[in-house]
Structure 1
């Protein structure tokens, strides 16, 4: 009885934490498309305060210079670390990229949007802590369960620090990509804990496992390409190029990303075909949802290119992509762990 109570409590906390992380990814995307990523030029405070000011009068006249100097100082220390590690190119970009040195003017709406984004992150930190505490109930079942809980907690703290670098470097593309991928690692680890603790039913199908695994691995470059395209759009947002001309100004990454989506569609359709042959209801449903998600992501991507990248479609496209990754990883995990 105690085991069932522990399992029920943990799975509830784990599911809430997982859902919250997915919501935070969506919120982060909305923050970016609204151009509020630098709404607070410092971290963890916002314009030197734990609660953002409501008017520019509350700030000193030279506030832009003050926060620029703070960021430059932090970036120089960071660049020194990367230089010692042999990443000279990245080190140079951090200190010399023109976009890194640009300081935005105070905007109360953008400041509070970014502030709310950070508050959501703090709430998730508490949920991750509870997920870790509850995971220790299963240490006798598998030491890997509490170990994973601790690792998620540590990575969440590290993710907060990476978020500070995103702000410090004025949304430098490489850090945004790493920030996104790290969020997906946390999502994957939470899913792993859920699957292992649930002790899901017995099922074996080696071909399906390999199809699912290969599709999951192939999807990672697609996600990275997507974040690079998103970075290009960020640059276009602050350029003088009109939205109607954005499609002509996109990099090669956009065209590779667009063509690559057909490979993903083929992968999930093949997965669905083999899943239907097993007559396992959960497997058929999961693979069918995958086909739908990939199709919707493609439609959203096409619509963005055709209709000058409307801001509301961009978070939708991202959440479809995160859903695809999460479901693919879940599927692969179940097909691997079940004996």
Structure 2
């Protein structure tokens, strides 16, 4: 057993788990682009079944009213909880937002797209559980390793619950943003575990540490802005307007998000400048990769607007963003202010 749970095997499971989270983020983005986020109006079942129906024939005639009532009942409990916690505005939004009251017709394709998304989530849950169990083998190296393994497992379960709220509130923007931030937190903890198990060396470089940490912190609001812009696009997806008109409806957040990207680019270019002073080739290579990822994300963002928001570019834009965050966080762990 001891031979089975060695560093190499754990790192393999950890890497597979991290990669699967990336896949789930990509699949989730595709689900949203296809307008299939509400392909299953209930959770964890889909139209009352653990396997989605292939047609509406087996559903009651008033199935829309039935599932709408289920969602509203759940939302009422959720609103009461937030009200008791002092979040009155959010509580009112959950119960009064007109978009929450909209019910979608059955669509077999969208139901199965959303169902596949959920299956991928279940698979990741199993990998996260295995990652947690194996992490206890490294408790003597650092008690933080199994602690993070347990935290990731709990956060993954919590993420599943938040996913159910995304469905019950009919893709309410705030919950989608929170859903995304939780995914990034799980990604960050998986990377942190990987670095700790490998016991990677760190570099002391004050300017590089400050610029790297600042760029990482600045990138989080950029992710939030991007998620909010994505929410506006989701609304346009179900409207009657053509894709060539979407740019006219984008909110102020879009223009802030677009301009903000230059700040991130300045940050990663500055990181490359200081990395070259360390003469550490791996660090120089990683900062070059960061610059390339930022450029690709910017190009994808421009292409979305220029080419009327093609389906395939939007998921790529998100994956580039997640890649930037992951690499920024990884480098922040490898660079220290002091020894």
Query: With structure 1 as the length reference, what TM-score do the two structures score?
Result: 0.97
**3-state SS in 1 of match to 2:203:** coil
Deviation of 1:5 (Å) = 5.6
Please state if 1:325 is matched with 2:325.
yes
Aligned in 2, Cα 1:337/1:73: closer, same or farther, shift over 3 Å? farther
Encode CA deviations 1:69-116: one digit per residue, 9 max, x unaligned. 000000000000111111111111111111101111110000000000
2:280 — aligned with what?
Answer: 280
1:52 — aligned with what?
Answer: 52
8 Å contact 1:200–1:338 — kept in the other structure?
Answer: no
2:103 — aligned with what?
Answer: 103
Aligned partners of 1:7, 1:62: CA distance in 2, in Å? 55
Please state if 1:303 is matched with 2:316.
no
1:142 — aligned with what?
Answer: 142
Superposed CA RMSD in Å reads 1.3
Deviation of 1:303 (Å) = 0.8
8 Å contact 1:222–1:257 — kept in the other structure?
Answer: yes
Deviation of 1:4 (Å) = 9.8
| Bigger mean CA deviation after superposition, 205-214 or 220-229 | 205-214
8 Å contact 2:94–2:100 — kept in the other structure?
Answer: yes
8 Å contact 1:201–1:338 — kept in the other structure?
Answer: no
Aligned partners of 2:229, 2:38: CA distance in 1, in Å? 19
Aligned in 2, Cα 1:194/1:201: closer, same or farther, shift over 3 Å? same
Gaps of 5+ in 2: none
Deviation of 1:337 (Å) = 9.4
Aligned partners of 2:166, 2:182: CA distance in 1, in Å? 13
8 Å contact 2:37–2:171 — kept in the other structure?
Answer: yes
Encode CA deviations 1:244-286: one digit per residue, 9 max, x unaligned. 1111111000000000001011110111111122121110111
Alignment of 1:63-102 (within 5 A): 63-102=63-102
8 Å contact 2:206–2:338 — kept in the other structure?
Answer: no
Aligned partners of 2:236, 2:124: CA distance in 1, in Å? 32
| Bigger mean CA deviation after superposition, 139-148 or 112-121 | 139-148
1:24 — aligned with what?
Answer: 24
**3-state SS in 1 of match to 2:157:** helix
**3-state SS in 2 of match to 1:308:** coil
Deviation of 1:241 (Å) = 2.1
2:205 — aligned with what?
Answer: 205
Aligned partners of 2:293, 2:102: CA distance in 1, in Å? 38
Encode CA deviations 1:131-176: one digit per residue, 9 max, x unaligned. 0001000111111110110010000000000000000000000000
Aligned partners of 1:234, 1:17: CA distance in 2, in Å? 28
**3-state SS in 1 of match to 2:6:** helix
Aligned in 2, Cα 1:202/1:99: closer, same or farther, shift over 3 Å? closer
1:186 — aligned with what?
Answer: 186
2:252 — aligned with what?
Answer: 252
Aligned partners of 1:68, 1:159: CA distance in 2, in Å? 23
Deviation of 1:202 (Å) = 4.6
8 Å contact 2:205–2:337 — kept in the other structure?
Answer: no
1:166 — aligned with what?
Answer: 166
**3-state SS in 2 of match to 1:69:** helix
Deviation of 1:6 (Å) = 1.5
8 Å contact 2:5–2:137 — kept in the other structure?
Answer: no
Aligned in 2, Cα 1:104/1:338: closer, same or farther, shift over 3 Å? farther
Please state if 1:62 is matched with 2:62.
yes
Deviation of 1:306 (Å) = 1.0
8 Å contact 2:29–2:314 — kept in the other structure?
Answer: yes
**3-state SS in 2 of match to 1:48:** coil
